[in-house]
Chains A and B, each alone.
Chain A
Amino acid sequence: MTDAVFFVLAGVIVASALGMVQARNLFHAGLALITCFLGVAGIYVLLKSPFIAALQVLIYAGAIAVILLFGFMLTHHVMHTDPHKRFTQQAAGLGAALAMGLVLVVTIAVSPWNKGAQAVPVSDLGSLGQQLLTTYLLPFELASAFLLAALVGAIMIARKEEGPPPA
Chain B
Amino acid sequence: MTPVGLQHYLILAAVLFSIGLYGALTRRNAVAVLMSLELMFNSVNINLVAFSHFLPDFTGVLFSIFVITVAAAEVTIGVAIVLSVYRNRNTIDLEQVNQLQG
A interface residue numbers (CB < 8 A to B): 2-3, 6-7, 10, 13-14, 17-18, 20-21, 26, 29-30, 33, 36-37, 40, 43-44, 47-49, 51-52, 55-56, 59-60, 63-64, 67-68, 70-72, 74-75, 78-79, 82-85, 89-90, 92-94, 96-98, 100-101, 104-105, 108-109, 113, 115, 117, 119-123, 127-128, 131-132, 136, 139, 143, 146-147, 150-151, 153-155, 157-158, 160
Instruction: Report Cα–Cα, A135/B90, bound state, in Å.
Output: 47
Query: Given A71-B34, A78-B86: A115 and B5 within 8 A (CB)?
Result: yes
- Further 11 A-B residue pairs, CB within 8 A, beyond A43-B46, A122-B58, A136-B62: A17-B39, A36-B42, A37-B38, A49-B49, A68-B79, A104-B14, A113-B5, A119-B54, A123-B58, A132-B62, A150-B72
> B28 to chain A: which residues have CB within 8 Å?
82-85
| Closest residue on chain B to residue A132 by CB atoms | B62
Chain B interface size band reads: 35 or more
> Could you count the A-B residue pairs with CB atoms below 8 Å apart for me: how many are there?
226
